[in-house]
Structure 1
C-alpha cells in the first residue's frame, strides 16, 4: 500500500512543489508521470490563465488539460460573483488573463477608480506598480469591496523568493485600512472546488508552503503531504501551529510511492527525541539516517502539543548532529 494508492486524487500546488519559475522541481515530473491517479493543479498564482499553465505543464511532460488547472483568479471571481451581480463594474488589478476571466464571468471590467467600480479584484502581476495600486486604493476608499486572489507574501522563482501578491495587497490595506476577502489558499474553497470537479472523496493535497498549501488542505479537512522542496523548510515545520501541520512529510514527491505510516511523524531510523526544558534533544540514529527521518522523529514530540513549539533542537549524537546540520 502506497500513499498514492490510499487516495483517489491529487490536488497539487505548483510553485515550489512541481516547478520553480517554470523549471521542474527534482523528481516531481517523473513521479507524477508514473502514477495513474487523477490530479488537479491548485495554484495561488493568479497571473496566468489556466490554459497557459496547462501548456507549461505539458511542455514539462505532464499531460494536462485546461480543466486540470484551478487558479486563485478563478476562485476570486467566483467569490466576487456570490456578492456582486453580473454586469457590475469591477476594477481588476492583475494580468490580462485575470481581466478576461472576469469579463467571461459577466463583469464589466474597468481600470480606473473614476469609473466607480463596486469591487476590486487583486491578483499577482509583475507589472503592477504605484499607479495601479493607487487606483485600487482610490476605488476601495470610495466604497468598492476588496477581493484578493491570494496573500502569499513571496513567490518562489529560480533566483529565490520574489515579491508575492500578499505584499502588494499589504500596501493597499496599509493605505486604505481595508483587509480583502481572500479566495485562494489557505482558504479551503479552492480545495473543495477541485475535489468536486473530479468527484474525489479522499484527495491528497500536496504542497511545499505551510501557511497556504498545507493550511488550506487542513482547513478543507483533507490529508496533506508537505514536500521540503520550496518555501517552508525543516525548522519552519517544527515550529508549525496545529492548523499548519501536514499529515505526511517527505523530502520530495517520490514519497507518493512510500507507505503512509512511514511518512507520518514518528521515531524512525534509530532516532529518539525527548523534551529537555523548552528544547528537544534528538539522539541515536542509524549510520546514514537522513534529515527527514530526523525531522519526523522530532515532530513526534514537537507536535504533541496544541501550541507551536518555540524551543530549539539539540543534537545528542553524531548522527543527529549531521542530520540537524542539513536542515534549512
Structure 2
C-alpha cells in the first residue's frame, strides 16, 4: 500500500511542503541533519515551502527562526494557517470587509494583507469572526464571539489542533477553543489549516509547483491533509508518529512514502513485496502471528518501517484491529 519511486523524491517532485515542528525542528533546535538535507533538496531543484497550522506568528518571524537554525528561508517561503484563513475570508467577503479577530499578531497581519479590517467582537458591522491561537485572547471575548456565532455570524477557524508544544510541555491548542465554541453554538467552522485543504491550496498558489509532495510527522493533519488534496506524502519519524500510531493508521492517514528523517528526500523508495501474511523488502520480513507483529531479518531502518507499515495495514484492513506491537523495537537509523 506504500508508493514506489525509482528516483530520489527531490528529483521526482518539484515542491516539498514541509511541516515545521517534528520535521524541520523540535522545540528550539533543528532536527539533526535537517539543514543539510533541505539545502541538498534545493540544489536538486526542489522548491521548499514551510507550512504551519500555528496562526500566531507572522511568516517573517517564522523565516527568521529558520535562519537562526541554519536553514535558508525567506518570508515568501512560509505559509501559515492564518494566511489560508484570510484567503478564505477574502474570497467570500471581498476586500474591506470587517472581521472579528480572536487571535494573535500572525492572524491580524494576514487579515490586513488581504485588505480585511480586523475589528473587536462587539462590532455590529462585522461580516465574520476568525479564530486562531492567541495566548492573550480574553474569555469575555470568547463568550461574546460564541454568542454571535450561534446567532449566525460566519465563523472561520485557522486550525483545529488540540495541542500545542510549549516550553513547559504540551498544552491545549486552538482546537480546544474551537470545540468550546462549537459545543455552545452548534456550528461547525470553516477550517483553514491541515487536514483541510485551504492551507495546502494556498501554499501551492503562493510558492508554485506542478508536482508537490507533503512532508510531515503527523498522520491526522499532514498526511490526511495530503490525501484530501490528492497529492503524495512523505512521513518522517522525527516527530509525534511512532510505531503504535503508524500501525493503527486509517486509510486516509497512510503516507505514500515513509522515511526515518529528511534524508528520505534523497533516496529512491522501493515498495515492499506483499506476502500472504505480511511483507518483505531489503532483507526484512514482517508478518503477524496471533495478533502480534513479528519482524525478522536485517537491512536499512527505512526498509524496516516500510515492511512493518505494509504488514500492519494489511492486518488492520482484514480484521479491523491494529496489530499488537508490544516488545517490538525499531532499529536505529
**TM-score bracket for the superposition, by shorter chain length:** 0.7 to 0.9
CA distance 1:232–1:127, shift in 2 (3 Å): farther
Q: Which residue of 1 aligns with 2:322?
A: 311
| Alpha-carbon distance between aligned partners in 2 of 1:308 and 1:114, rounded to the nearest angstrom | 54
Q: Would the alpha carbon gap of residues 270 and 264 (structure 1) be closer, same or farther in structure 2, given more than 3 Å must change?
A: closer
Separation (CA, whole Å) in 1 of partners of 2:195 and 2:176 = 16
Q: Secondary structure at the match of 1:17?
A: coil
Q: Which one is further off, 145-154 or 231-240?
A: 231-240
Q: In 1, Cα distance between the equivalents of 2:261 and 2:271?
A: 14
- After TM superposition, the structure 1 stretch with the greater mean CA deviation from structure 2, 192-201 or 205-214, is 192-201
Deviation at 1:153, TM superposition (A): 1.0
Aligned residue number for residue 297 of structure 2 = 285
Per the alignment, do residues 264 and 120 of structure 1 end up closer, same or farther by CA in structure 2, a change over 3 Å counting?
A: farther
Which residue pairs with 1:25 in the alignment? 31
Q: Structure 1 residues 323 and 45 mapped into 2: Cα distance closer, same or farther (>3 Å)?
A: same
Q: Does 1:146 align with 2:159?
A: no
2:54 to 45, 48, 63: 45
What is the distance in 1 between the residues matched to 2:34 and 2:65?
14
Equivalent position SS for 1:151: coil
Name the SS for the 2:181 alignment partner: helix
Q: Secondary structure at the match of 1:323?
A: coil
1:51, 1:64 → 2: CA distance?
9
Determine the C-alpha separation between the residues in 1 that align with 2:87 and 2:319.
34
Distance 1:82 1:228, change over 3 A: same
TM-score by length of structure 1 reads 0.87
Does the alignment pair 1:253 with 2:262?
yes
Find the counterpart in structure 2 of residue 202 from structure 1: 211
Mapped partners of 2:272, 2:127: distance in 1 = 48
Note if contact 1:248-1:263 (Cα within 8 Å) is conserved in structure 2. Answer: no
Cα shift readout 1:3-51 (whole Å, capped 9, x = no counterpart):
2121112111112211233321222222112222211111111101111
| Alpha-carbon shift at residue 263 of structure 1 (Å) | 9.1
Q: Which runs of 5+ in 1 are unaligned?
A: 316-320
CA distance in 1, matches of 2:168, 2:186: 33
Query: Using a 3 Å threshold, how does the CA distance of structure 1 residues 226 and 42 change in structure 2: closer, same or farther?
Result: same
Report if the CA contact (8 A) 1:11-1:205 is conserved: yes
Superposed, 1:1-328 pairs within 5 Å as 1-35=7-41, 36=43, 37-113=46-122, 115-157=124-166, 159-261=168-270, 267-276=280-289, 279-286=291-298, 292-304=302-314, 310-313=321-324, 321=327, 323=329
CA distance in 1 between partners of 2:198 and 2:292 (Å)? 36
Retained in 2: the 8 A contact 1:264–1:296?
no
Q: Secondary structure at the match of 1:313?
A: coil
Q: The residue matched to 1:11 in structure 2 has which SS?
A: strand
Residues 129-155 of structure 1: CA deviation (Å, up to 9, x unaligned): 422321321221232111011111112
**Contact 1:282–1:313 (Cα < 8 Å) also in 2:** no
**What is the RMSD of the two structures over their aligned residues, measured on CA atoms?**
2.6
Q: Which runs of 5+ in 2 are unaligned?
A: 1-6
Inter-partner Cα distance in structure 2 for 1:308 and 1:116: 54
Alignment-derived partner of residue 318 in structure 1: none
TM-score normalized by the length of structure 2: 0.86
Q: Distance in 2 between matches of 1:246 and 1:13?
A: 14
For the Cα contact (< 8 Å) 2:101–2:121, is it kept in 1?
no
Of structures 1 and 2, the one with the larger relative CO (CA 8 A, separation 6+) is 2
